[in-house]
Amino acid sequence: MTETIRLLARYNAHANREMNKVLGSLPPEDWSRDLGGFYASFEAVTGHLYTADVAWLVRFTGLRSFQALKGEPFDFPPSLGQNPFESFSDYQTKRGALDASIESFAAELTEADVTAELEYRNFRGEAVAKNFGGLVVHLLNHQTHHRGMIALYLDQLDVPNDFNSLSAIV
């Protein structure tokens, strides 16, 4: 399972870079434009992804210490629902650094880690125990889900996009 997780971490970093090329080509006002979904703008979707990724990664340190999950943003994670970006440029910088941390985290994982059970409190404060490897896959799959939302928003704006293909890196 560790090799699958490493592949998905590389894929997400690649897909995010490709997606960000498309987002970077948009007029600046489109970054926060209300496009009608639950996370109504590119800024809102990417903010949700970033804060959720950091929250899960911090939660993962409940299993053991990971070198890749030290320092910013893990020492002082943004609150869920908080906009962690000052601008699109700030988003690109932070997303790139987070994707590098995720790839490094994936490289640190052992088979013992992915078969372990993680005990944690969910976002409602309830005690939960689940397979650690499955939770890591959840983190990585969550990105794919929301990149799909971004692709739909780009389709609504008639902006060509095709950045979500796993086959691009295999």
* Token output for 101: 């941390």
Full pLDDT tens readout for the chain, 170 residues: 999 999 999 999 999 999 999 999 999 999 999 999 999 999 999 999 999 999 999 999 999 999 999 999 999 888 887 889 999 999 999 999 999 999 999 999 999 999 999 999 988 999 999 999 999 999 999 999 999 999 999 999 999 999 988 998 98
Q: CB-based contacts of 138: which residues, under 8 Å, 6+ apart?
A: 56
So what's the pLDDT on residue 82?
82
CB 135 within 8 A of CB 122: no
Question: What are 128's strand-pairing partners?
Answer: 120
Tokens standing for 73? Answer: 């943003």
pTM exceeds 0.85: yes
As a CATH number, domain 2-28+40-168 is 1.20.120
Q: Give the pLDDT confidence score for residue 79 in this predicted structure.
A: 84
Interacting residues of 49 by C-beta distance below 8 A, sequence separation 6+: 142, 143, 146
Q: Which helix (H) or strand (E) holds 82?
A: none
Domain ranges of the chain: 2-28+40-168
102 within 8 A of 143, measured Cβ to Cβ: no
Residue whose structure tokens are 């080509």: 25
pLDDT of residue 41: 97
Q: Report how far residue 152's alpha carbon sits from residue 85's, in angstroms, rounded to the nearest whole number.
A: 22
- Read off φ and ψ for residue 70, nearest 5 degrees: -120, 150
